[in-house]
Amino acid sequence: MNSCKPIDKLAVILIDVQQAFVSGSWSMGMAVERIRESFGKCEKLIQSLSPTIPVLLTQCPFINPKDRAFHTSVKKIFKERNYPVVYKYGTNIMEADGAENWVESMLERQVDAVVLGGCTTTSCVRVSSSALVRNFKHAPVQFIVDLSLCGARDSNYIKRCKACMQIYMQTGETRNCELCVNSTEGLTSPVDMAVEYMLNAGVIVKEHFDWSAYLV
């Protein structure tokens, strides 16, 4: 993990905290407890977060309203806080109408950092955080991913050897060979790879961001 500069003002982006990813069409047949846990942590954060902290929400516009809805853990408080929402049709938040304008408005407010959470770590969080860094590379703002607020399919946390990782990435097959089971060297997981990708892109990645100064 890498370090961040001192932060006076921050904003938050929560990506796709939606029902589809834990009990809807996207999650069917998959183990998604890590995503469910991350949504619970997002709920606890928002409940304690100062209402003065700007928060942007993204949604995938699934056709099924139940899939599209925010997860039950956060739906009520998101509505109460009346946070702005942008619709993300792919994995890149910069392609969502209104996202770039929102970040620019944060820069006008002299926000020092934007902290991201949501799902999935290996896809939308990885792609969106890296795209934000690229698009605002000359701006005085840090983009930080709080891994404790992020989740991915449980299988994406399993460490594998290079050969088994290639099979998994190509086919989704989750079997592990003897090397994967009996060795701790040279193994990696899709989440590990996502973190490395973000770090290389200039994203600041934290296992747990220190929220203490921003809670009520």
Under DSSP, is residue 192 helix (H, G, I), strand (E, B) or coil?
Answer: helix
**Contact call for residues 68 and 61 (beta carbons, < 8 A):** yes
Instruction: Please state, rounded to an integer, the average pLDDT across all residues of the chain.
Output: 93
**Contact call for residues 16 and 59 (beta carbons, < 8 A):** yes
Burial class (CB in 10 A: 0-12, 13-18, 19+), 35: buried
Can you state the angle between helices 190-201 and 162-171, rounded to 10 degrees? 90
pLDDT the model gives residue 175: 65
pLDDT the model gives residue 152: 97
Within-domain flag for 162? no
pLDDT the model gives residue 63: 94
Within-domain flag for 160? no
* H-helix or E-strand spanning residue 28: none
Cα–Cα distance, 188 to 158 (Å, whole number): 8
- pLDDT at residue 174 is higher than 80: no
Alpha-carbon separation of residue 163 from 166, 169, 176, 189, 191 (angstroms)? 5, 10, 9, 12, 17
How many domains in the chain?
Answer: 1
Range of the domain at 207: 10-154+191-214
Tens of pLDDT, residue by residue over 65-119, are 999 999 999 999 999 999 999 999 999 999 999 999 999 999 999 999 999 999 9
Within-domain flag for 177? no
Tens of pLDDT, residue by residue over 13-40, are 999 999 999 998 898 888 999 999 999 9
Within-domain flag for 55? yes
- pLDDT at residue 62 is higher than 90: yes
Q: What is the mean pLDDT of residues 170-184?
A: 76
Under DSSP, is residue 72 helix (H, G, I), strand (E, B) or coil?
Answer: helix
Cα–Cα distance, 103 to 51 (Å, whole number): 18
Task: Give the distance from CA 191 to its chain's centroid.
Answer: 11
- pLDDT at residue 163 is higher than 90: no
